[in-house]
């Protein structure tokens, strides 16, 4: 498998930069929130929306679209940023995030937002729905894929593993899961809340084609997707990309801050965040 071209990687890195920028815009509206998760997952979301998904921005319900399910409802801030990057949600609408009557509520809901396939938030739901979508699409002869985004915290939920078994049993080669392993959940570090490791071995033992990558390395993410594309149709095996990410990625001020599920950022810090984000992106863009 040839490595992703530098041009492709640069294109996705640029998308990830804009997604991070949009996430900061939304975070500033609230003064706090799940900005750390959005920054950490931005490369994953960029790879999905700018490289992988087939969709029509002007017709989010187009039948032939690939489905991207956000199981972690609180990552909506990152998902809205990706939907803006994809042209499905207007960039100018992002500043309504979390406000009364906004189409962009704090937790992602399908009934509110164009392009939002499911209402996540009660964790451990997304992969079960993804199994049904993959079955339904296959039954109806659709070539569309289903990508479910989940978090390492969701590996606590038994339903995730019910779905993992179901996807393998039903040979859902049209299903890919992406797990954001940022090692953080509401009450603290994942390994102190409920140890989920060894994660790779768990997914492998459930019959999934399993890859573990640096989820902030765009080239590695694209290569993982390429590996799946090269084999899944023949194998009928569901795929998972386990993505180790860094909370606050791209903004050193937040990367080095004590990790918190719900991050508080002072009023004067937002501009610093933006400047650090841009400096980091431009400084390494040609690296």
Report d(CA 278, CA 255) in Å as an integer: 15
**Judged by CB under 8 A, does residue 108 bind another protein?**
no
The site that binds another protein (CB under 8 A) totals a number of residues, namely: 33
For another protein, which is the closer residue by CB, 50 or 118?
A: 118
Cβ at position 133, least distance to another protein in Å: 4
In 3D space, the residue among 45, 70, 44 whose CA is nearest the CA of residue 244 turns out to be: 44
DSSP secondary structure letters along 151-201: EGGGGGSHHHHHHHHHHHHTT-TTEEEEEEE-SEETTEEHHHH-----HHH
Candidates 9-17, 52-60, 139-147, 256-264 — which segment interacts with another protein by CB under 8 A? 139-147
E strands, the chain, where? 32-33, 67-70, 146-151, 175-181, 184-185, 188-189, 209-214, 239-244, 263-264
In 3D space, the residue among 26, 9, 19 whose CA is nearest the CA of residue 98 turns out to be: 26
Single residue of 76, 83, 131, 263 touching another protein by CB under 8 A: 131
For another protein, which is the closer residue by CB, 112 or 270?
A: 112
**Judged by CB under 8 A, does residue 54 bind another protein?**
no
For another protein, which is the closer residue by CB, 33 or 120?
A: 120
Single residue of 45, 82, 86, 118 touching another protein by CB under 8 A: 118
- Interacting residue ranges for another protein, rule: CB under 8 A: 67, 109-111, 117-119, 121-122, 124-125, 127-137, 139-140, 142, 158-159, 162-163, 165-166, 169-170
């Amino acid at each position: 498998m040839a490595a992703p071209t530098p041009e492709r990687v640069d294109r996705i890195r640029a998308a990830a930069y804009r997604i991070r920028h949009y996430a900061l815009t939304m975070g500033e509206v609230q003064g706090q929130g799940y900005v750390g998760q959005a920054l950490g997952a931005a490369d994953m979301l960029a790879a999905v929306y700018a490289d992988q998904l087939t969709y029509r921005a002007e017709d989010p319900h187009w039948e032939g679209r690939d489905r991207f399910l956000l199981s972690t409802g609180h990552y909506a801030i990152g998902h809205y940023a990706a939907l803006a990057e994809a042209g499905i949600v207007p960039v100018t609408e992002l500043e309504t995030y979390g406000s009364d009557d906004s189409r962009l509520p704090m937790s992602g809901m399908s009934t509110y937002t164009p392009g939002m396939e499911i209402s996540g938030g009660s964790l451990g739901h997304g992969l079960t729905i993804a199994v049904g979508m993959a079955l339904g699409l296959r039954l109806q002869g659709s070539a569309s894929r289903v990508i479910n985004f989940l978090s390492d915290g969701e590996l606590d939920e038994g339903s995730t593993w019910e779905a993992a078994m179901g996807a393998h049993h039903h040979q859902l080669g049209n299903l890919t899961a992406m797990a954001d392993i940022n090692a953080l959940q509401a009450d603290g570090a994942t390994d102190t809340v409920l140890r989920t490791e060894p994660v790779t071995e768990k997914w492998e033992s459930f019959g999934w084609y399993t890859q573990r990558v640096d989820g902030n390395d765009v080239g590695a993410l694209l290569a993982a997707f390429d590996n799946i594309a090269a084999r899944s149709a023949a194998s009928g095996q569901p795929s998972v990309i386990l993505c180790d990410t860094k909370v606050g990625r791209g903004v050193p001020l937040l990367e080095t801050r004590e990790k918190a599920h719900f991050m508080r950022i002072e009023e004067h810090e937002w501009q610093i965040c933006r400047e650090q984000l841009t400096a980091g992106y431009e400084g390494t863009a040609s690296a």
